[in-house]
Amino acid sequence: MEKKEQIGKITLDYSKYPGEDFYCDGAVEDELLRITRDMSPVEYAGKIEESKSWPILYHLSPLRENIVEWLPIGKEHKVLEVGSGCGAITGALAAKAGEVTCVDLSQKRSMINAYRHSECENVTIHVGNFKDIEPQLPGDYDYICLIGVFEYGQSYIGGKTPYEDFLRILQGHLKPDGRIVIAIENKLGMKYFAGCREDHLGTYFSGIENYAGGGGVRTFSRNGLERIFAACGVKESHFYYPYPDYKFMTTLFSDAYQPGKGELSNNLRNFDRDRMLLFNEKQAFDGVTEDGLFPIFSNSFLVVLGADFDVKYTRYSNDRAPAYCIRTEIGETPEGRRYVRKYPLGPEAAGHVRGMAVAYESLKERYAGSSLQINQCTLVDTEGELYAEFEFVKGRPLSQLLDECLENGDMDGFYDYFCKYVEKIDYNSQAPVADFDLVFSNILVDGEDWTLIDYEWTFGKPVATKELAFRAIYCYLLEDEKRGSLELDRILELLQITQEDAQQLREQEQEFQSFVTGNRRAMAQMRDLIGYRILQPGKWIDRYQDAEQINRVQIYEDLGSGYREEASYFVKDAYQGENLIEMEIPVSGNVKMLRIDPSMDSCMVKILELTFNGVEIPLQNKKNLLINGRLIKAAGKEEAYHPSMVFATTDPNINLVLEGLERRAENRLYARMEVVRLPMKMAQDMAGAVKRII
């Protein structure tokens, strides 16, 4: 084949391509190739929602770019991207850097990358094995990016120390002041303990069990990565913590800025396969953040080998309509001053960021003289740079203070905070300006100082205080199920809101969310669309324990004076599975009737075999079989009659008349039955239908 191919403005270099792709995801790659060749990137969002497919979402979602978009890469920088695949982050790198060199083993994936970024004239894609391509690469890269790649070191390099060798090779292509950026799963990530399968092998607990089952992929703990870096002579490394993980990162923490209690709530974000849910990840994260253990249990790492950055925290709000997509970052100057900045993530959102400075002036005027402070905003709007900068305010979110009141059962304290909140936001309520997003997490409390730190959704019209306060409570309750103990009726009474008003406000909130997202599907909704299950073993255990109480067989014997509860007994191990009874019990010769209770719940029973001393009991003779249910088949002529019956009672019983049967001093009754539990209403309907038929 030709050594080079041009797709748009991108050059593909095949000089080291072996002639075939040794790694392929099959038909989905053909679909991705069609999409990127025939559709514009602005159409990808609709295609993602339409396809309801994990691979389409994974490869084409613009949220994949978040992991590198925040990096301070400029047009003066050269970037090497190893394992560029279908180009999930290539576009973000190309938009920032002066030159981007990609390396990938797959020709088809490289073509997908080229088609989707065909307008990027600063990108070259080398197709082939990294070991073959690497010798011809220069040694002056400012950034080398391995996003979801380092774990494949064994496949890339081989040998006894593949990860160390891989890193040493990469170091040889770096400028003296360059940086290597590695995004990789944490093998001890919280999500794996909670029941997510290992991302690469698709098995449970593989990383936690130290890959005892083998496989060609390895992820590492933080300590494991640091040992590799030390072996390679890395002098400086900095760990960042993408949340929920690096694939669809919404928030990036660092050692200098770790999450607070209650901050981590978007945990059910795996899209690729079924998962278990062994415990509440949010509550578990609350515990580890309180104890300072978040770096150990973070689901993913982003490691920068080289000098640190000013940025200590980043949050992306780009699961929205383009006009409102922004990035919020907290940084620290060399002098130690912290700041907060909000950047537009595209030209469409520039007006939204500029509007924050206008909102600050309007809210400052409204709340002048009140006890609610407005965080100062300064707009930086120069050629090539636009952001709104805010002061970094100390304090605790009001939401945390309210949570502590609920946890301690201090309802007086809760309502005291809430009433103070209502009083503060109500100040000058007739002014033609209101922050619609006055949620509790946007207010920091430091002693007597209350500061509104985020007023992104400020509108030039008055909004009733009770509407703003109701929205704050509504969002607060939705964020954490533990807050369900709050009496909403009392809140409504305080705010003088009727149930009808509350329903209208809920509908108004849904309309607002549609306005913000531009009617696009949120990521949580995409998970539901793709349709993988969340399996909760805790419920299985409850069901099993419940079944132990329900799936029991009780025997009563009538010796001529009727059944007596104190003379009954349970047959141990009668259930040979959830729905099958098999038992053989002794029966004395003076028993006239024997009663079998096959379950402790409404159910349907099919008799598969019923013998007395090895002889089939003639159940077609109605005198031998009495039940407090309904026979589904009332009569039969076959020699071995095995009826089915339905019981619309929690005390089903099957009575066998033994007097007419040949008996001995000691007898044996053998029974095999299939039992299926039914909801009571269903059992009643079935019993009624049988009655009408018969």
Q: Does residue 360 sit within a domain?
A: yes
What single-letter DSSP state applies at residue 384? T
* DSSP H helical ranges for 207-267: 222-231
**CA distances, 180 to each of 157, 240, 257, 573 (Å):** 18, 13, 21, 62
Residues 6+ apart with CB under 8 A from 324: 317, 349, 352, 516
CATH number, position 347? 1.10.510.10
What are 170-221's pLDDT values in tens digits?
Answer: 999 999 999 999 999 999 999 999 999 999 999 999 999 999 988 889 999 9
Confidence band (pLDDT; 50, 70, 90) for 691?
low
Grouping H, G, I as helix, E, B as strand and the rest as coil, residue 555 is strand
What pLDDT score was predicted for residue 640?
59
Does 558 share its domain with 451?
no
Q: Does residue 536 sit within a domain?
A: no
Q: Among residues 435, 463, 491, which one ends one of the domains?
A: 463
Q: Is the pLDDT of residue 456 over 90?
A: yes
Residues 6+ apart with CB under 8 A from 567: 556, 557
What pLDDT score was predicted for residue 633?
65
Domain count, the chain: 2
Does 427 share its domain with 554?
no
**Amino acid occupying residue 454:** D
Does 423 share its domain with 551?
no
Q: Does residue 647 sit within a domain?
A: yes
- The percent of residues above 70 in pLDDT, for the chain, comes to 97
Does 547 share its domain with 687?
yes
Domain that holds residue 457: 320-463
Q: Does residue 289 sit within a domain?
A: no
Cis peptide before 244 (omega within 30 of 0): yes
What are 388-443's pLDDT values in tens digits?
Answer: 999 999 999 999 999 999 999 999 999 999 999 999 999 999 999 999 999 999 99
**Amino acid occupying residue 112:** I
d(CA 37, CA 654): 69
Mean pLDDT of 367-387: 95
What is the chain's Cα-based Rg?
34
- Whether the predicted model's global pTM rises above the 0.85 cut: no
How many angstroms separate the most distant Cα atoms in the chain?
105
Confidence band (pLDDT; 50, 70, 90) for 265?
confident
Q: Among residues 463, 493, 510, which one ends one of the domains?
A: 463
Mean pLDDT of 329-336: 93
Q: Does residue 591 sit within a domain?
A: yes
Q: Does residue 44 sit within a domain?
A: no
- Which of 338, 174, 198, 319 is CA-nearest to residue 254? 338
For the chain, report the end-to-end CA distance as a whole number of angstroms.
78
What pLDDT score was predicted for residue 560?
87
Structure tokens at 445: 């409390």
What are 526-580's pLDDT values in tens digits?
Answer: 888 898 888 888 777 766 667 778 888 999 999 988 998 888 999 988 998 879 9
What are 271-296's pLDDT values in tens digits?
Answer: 889 999 999 999 999 999 999 999 99
List, in sequence order, every beta strand (DSSP E) within 517-558. 534-535, 554-558
- Read off φ and ψ for residue 539, nearest 5 degrees: -70, -35
Q: Is the pLDDT of residue 634 over 70?
A: no
Residues 6+ apart with CB under 8 A from 177: 142, 306, 307
Does 558 share its domain with 443?
no
Q: How would DSSP label each residue in 599-639?
A: -SSSEEEEEEEEEETTEE--TTSGGGEEESSEESS----SS
Does 551 share its domain with 677?
yes
Q: Is the pLDDT of residue 332 over 50?
A: yes
Report which secondary-structure segment, H or E, holds 354: helix 350-366
Does 552 share its domain with 677?
yes
The answer to whether the beta carbons of residues 605 and 632 sit under 8 Å apart is no
315 sits in the region (left: phi over 0; alpha: psi -120 to 50; else beta) called: beta
Q: Does residue 482 sit within a domain?
A: no
Does 456 share its domain with 553?
no
Q: Does residue 331 sit within a domain?
A: yes
SS3 for 191-220 is: HHHHCCECCCCCCECCCCCCCCCCCCCCCE
Does 553 share its domain with 450?
no
What are 96-150's pLDDT values in tens digits?
Answer: 999 999 999 999 999 999 999 999 999 999 999 999 999 999 999 999 999 999 9
The answer to whether the beta carbons of residues 336 and 322 sit under 8 Å apart is no
What are 601-629's pLDDT values in tens digits?
Answer: 999 999 999 999 999 998 888 788 999 99
Residues 6+ apart with CB under 8 A from 235: none
Q: Among residues 427, 448, 463, which one ends one of the domains?
A: 463
Query: What value does the mean pLDDT of the chain take?
Result: 93
Q: Which of 559-566's residues contact partners 24+ apart within 8 Å by CB, and which partners?
A: 559/590, 559/591, 559/592, 560/590, 560/592, 563/593, 563/595
Q: Is the pLDDT of residue 238 over 80?
A: yes
d(CA 279, CA 298): 16
Q: Is the pLDDT of residue 67 over 90?
A: yes
